[in-house]
Amino acid sequence: MSSIRLTSLVKTSGCAAKLPPSDLHAVIDSLPVLSSPDLVEGFETADDALVWRVGENRVCVQTVDFFPPMVDDPYTFGQIAAANALSDVYAMGGEPSVCLNLMCFPACLTLDVMRRILLGGLDKAKEAGAVIAGGHTISDPTPKYGLCVTSFMNEDEVWSNRTALPGDAVVLTKALGVGIVNTAAKVDEAPEESVRQAQDSMTRLNRKARDIARKYRIHGATDVTGFSLSGHGSEVAAASGLTLKINTADLPVIDGALELARFGFLPEGRYANEEFLRDKVSFAENIKLEMRDLCFDPQTSGGLLLFMSPGDARSYVKEMDMDCCRIIGTTYKQGKYLMEYV
């Protein structure tokens, strides 16, 4: 077995390795849009997956996601990468059905490392009730892994990021701070408990959060990954014509993450997110810098961000019975900013 630390082979890791959103939009926004009467959801509102009509009230929901490792253990990396990719289908309200592997693998690692990464992804897909039926591999100096995930569901059951309503409660189902903790862990500066909580969060499927949410009327949904709570929340706000008012005191946070932020253990993506969102997000004057860091922190395999009536939200959080699942704010008709932190 290779003794090389996976994280030593990468500059950025997990969803923090995403292109800066300003660069991404500069390219995507310049491209022509290909339309079809069967394309229900494309990339125009930055929703989590495409939705393609395949029959009367039946759609295919499809997404793809892969990234470099944020942990050194190959099996754990495979689990996290798979859970992250599967999350986009859960964020649409779907049930993952079939997947394809995406693997970039360097010659300096043994084949057993590849096997363990793929096994981690396989076991997580199995837990989701999905099948990995093939994939594609290339030789690359930087290891990367992820999945293309496909789901089939009724069109009228699809959740969207453009249908949240004024007065909705905003619910987040996982704690924040994963990017900060992973950054500190790369240089062995993160407390063991912080690392444990971050890895438990990243490997946990959003299946339970989706399953319970299906019992309620979900007005809008997304998941929180590399573009941070601020970025993905702003996407819902812009697509739905709303402002999200977030109570920072209610945000669930991984133990130790705020202290690590105070010491400067911040991923590069945190700054790219803030730069892109500078005119879209506001903070009350009393909010400390480390809390602002948290709100721009790139998350890997983060939680679902759900929008529903306040009554349903209270019942949902009670039924979830997890301290990390909380009501974090509310929505109102769009004002000056897309996100307001108080």
Give the residue numbers annotated as catalytic, written as ranges. Answer: 15
Whole-number Å distance between alpha carbons of 284 and 312: 28
Is residue 134 left, alpha or beta, with left meaning phi > 0 and alpha meaning psi from -120 to 50? left
Who contacts 318 (Cβ-Cβ below 8 Å, separation ≥6)? none
Instruction: Find out whether 9 and 17 touch, Cβ atoms under 8 Å.
Output: no
Report the relative pairing of strands 131-139 and 220-223 from DSSP bridges.
unpaired
Please tell me what DSSP assigns to residue 299.
P
Contacts of 58 (CB under 8 A, 6+ apart): 152, 153, 154, 155
User: Looking at residue 10, what DSSP letter applies?
Assistant: -
Termini Cα distance of the chain: 50
Backbone φ/ψ region at 217: left (φ over 0), alpha (ψ -120 to 50), beta? beta
Which ranges constitute the DSSP H helices of the chain? 21-28, 74-90, 111-127, 178-185, 192-203, 207-213, 228-240, 257-262, 268-277, 289-296, 310-320
Residue 13 burial (CB count, 10 A): 25
* β-bridge mates for residue 242, sequence order: 333
* Helix residue ranges per DSSP H, 128-249: 178-185, 192-203, 207-213, 228-240
